[in-house]
Amino acid sequence: MPTPETHAVLSASSAERWMHCPGSVALSKDIPESSSDYAEEGRLAHALAELKLRKKFLEPMSPRAFNTRYNKLARDNHWQPEMDACTDEYVDYITDIANSLSTRPFIAVEQRVDFSDFVPGGFGTADCILIHENTLYVNDYKHGKGVPVSAENNPQMMLYALGAVLNYRLLCNIQSIHTAIIQPRAGGIKESNFSRDELMDWAVFTVRLAAEKAADPDCDEFHSGDWCRFCPAKALCRERSGIVSAMDNFGGRLPPLLSDDEVANVLSKLDPLIRYGEAVKAYAQNKILSGGEIPGWKLVEGRGNRVWTDQTAAFEAIKAAGIEEALLYERKPLTAPALEKALGKKVFAEVATPYITKQPGKPTLAPLEDPREPYNPRFSAAEDFQNIKEDAK
């Protein structure tokens, strides 16, 4: 299973954070990185994607050998049937690139790339690299669905590309670069193109300067932002805690109702405040669970659930008391998303697609820089009323 880039302090995967907040590197050096079910699912999906790519492009593998390795992954507690369809989409995308080229490209899977010429001790692991003539293709699979990732000006992808250009400079005259993030559960495929010259300008005038700051153990430059999401110090960082004091009372000015501009100000700070609060609560709970103390706070037992000690015996006793067996069970159809998860995307798509329609989602607030289109109601209230009248005729 792929190993996270924990050995590089200034890794490609954490580049957005250390480039924006160089002080976070020294601040979090003694704080262990936490894992989660989502992270474990991602690692498992990456392992499956790697297995499929190696079988298709790199390693002669009998069906038996492939199935043995596949079944080992499928026995993992974090396995989900949809991983098959998601990783197939990733492999199909790379296959389409390879098939579109005039000759077979050079292909590397889970390739370590070194960019320490510009970033002290910097390296990363690129999911899949293709090189054909003077073009480099850098592909990254992301299994998460909570945070859509853009390929445009993505520092992780650009550092992978930089490392590949440096690694293969004696063998290939790379001039153009194509990067792609394949995120089947959050927007599909995002691509970006840039030249080698543009990449090297970025490396010399942006990355090198940011890395020098971040590598300084005495750096005290901190900036909070979206990059705090994956920072090990996110719960304790004093800079990030500043978002609490930023929720001001507008000086008690009259009138007593906030203006729309003031509401916009609150909204801009609300989501970061909520994420910060969740991180602090998780830190405090783990601290107490491990035997520590948080002054003025304790853990208490939450609401428990009643469960059967012997469901079979209980049901037999209930039926013996004259209760009809039909009352003991609930039968209801699975929702489309639940059935897709149970069957896997591929099987579900083949069988159920003609019977599926996508209903519009409810409107939700988002900042103007959000890439999604503004909400557009399907019908006005007058049109809805007219449709009701026509249906009644």
For residue 21 the two structure tokens come to: 């907040």
pLDDT band at 385 (very low <50, low <70, confident <90, very high): very low
Least confident of 55-64, 165-174, 300-309: 300-309
Q: What is the pLDDT of residues 278-335, one digit of tens each?
A: 888 888 888 888 888 888 888 888 778 888 899 999 999 999 999 988 888 888 888 8
Q: Which domains are delineated in the chain?
A: 15-215 (3.90.320), 226-289 (no CATH), 311-355 (no CATH)
DSSP H helices, the chain, are 15-20, 23-27, 37-53, 63-74, 82-100, 155-167, 196-202, 208-215, 238-245, 260-289, 311-320, 336-343, 345-352, 381-392
For residue 72 the two structure tokens come to: 């080992």
Distance separating alpha carbons of residues 321 and 341, to the nearest angstrom: 39
Residue 309's pLDDT is what? 92
**Rg for the chain, CA atoms, rounded:** 26
Q: Are 192 and 154 spatial neighbours (Cβ–Cβ below 8 Å)?
A: yes
Least confident of 48-62, 108-122, 340-354, 376-390: 376-390
Instruction: Render 363-392 in DSSP notation, one character per residue.
Output: P----TT-SSPPP--SS-HHHHHHHHHHHH
Among 196, 43, 18, 33, residue whose Cα is nearest residue 125 = 43
Q: Is the pLDDT confidence value at 277 over 50?
A: yes
- For 278, other C-beta atoms within 10 Å of its C-beta total 12
Distance separating alpha carbons of residues 314 and 319, to the nearest angstrom: 9
The average pLDDT across 160-167 equals 96
The average pLDDT across 104-125 equals 95
Q: Is the pLDDT confidence value at 388 over 70?
A: no
Q: What is the pLDDT of residues 221-264, one digit of tens each?
A: 998 888 888 888 887 787 776 666 555 555 555 555 567 887 78
Q: What is the pLDDT of residues 25-40, one digit of tens each?
A: 998 888 877 778 888 9
Residue 243's pLDDT is what? 63
pLDDT band at 1 (very low <50, low <70, confident <90, very high): very low
Q: Is the pLDDT confidence value at 205 over 90?
A: yes
Distance separating alpha carbons of residues 182 and 96, to the nearest angstrom: 13
Distance separating alpha carbons of residues 216 and 213, to the nearest angstrom: 5
Q: What is the DSSP letter of 101?
A: S
Strands 123-132 and 188-195 come out as: unpaired
Give the percent of the chain with pLDDT over 90: 49
Distance separating alpha carbons of residues 373 and 142, to the nearest angstrom: 23
Place of tokens 């001790």: 121
Q: Is the pLDDT confidence value at 97 over 50?
A: yes
For residue 235 the two structure tokens come to: 């719960």
